[in-house]
Amino acid sequence: MDPLLTVSEAADRLNTSVRFVRRLIAERRIEFVKVGRHVRISESALIAFVVAGTVAPLTAYDVSGRAA
């Protein structure tokens, strides 16, 4: 089982504000776990969120429309 991170710890790992992570939770854009009244985010859910938002760089073909 992955370690469960607090909202503050998740924000630190993403290098963002706590407010941003709370917005992700409110908009259901990231998987989270409720432990009583506490909200926790698994490390794998954080990694999956980052991977889902990763954009591949353009290649020379993408830019020019022809082989380089």
Q: By the 8 A CB rule, do 33 and 64 touch?
A: no
Rounded Cα distance between 22 and 56, Å, is 27
Residue 10 has pLDDT above 70, yes or no: yes
User: What was the pLDDT predicted at 47?
Assistant: 96
- Which residues, at least 6 apart from 66, have a Cβ–Cβ distance to it below 8 Å? none
Question: What would the pLDDT profile of 18-49 be if each residue is shown by its tens digit?
Answer: 999 999 999 999 999 999 999 999 999 999 99
CATH architecture of 4-53: Orthogonal Bundle (1.10)
User: What was the pLDDT predicted at 67?
Assistant: 62
Return the domain boundaries, the chain: 4-53
Q: Which residue has the tokens 């909200």?
A: 39
Q: Where residue 68 falls among pLDDT bands split at 50, 70, 90?
A: low
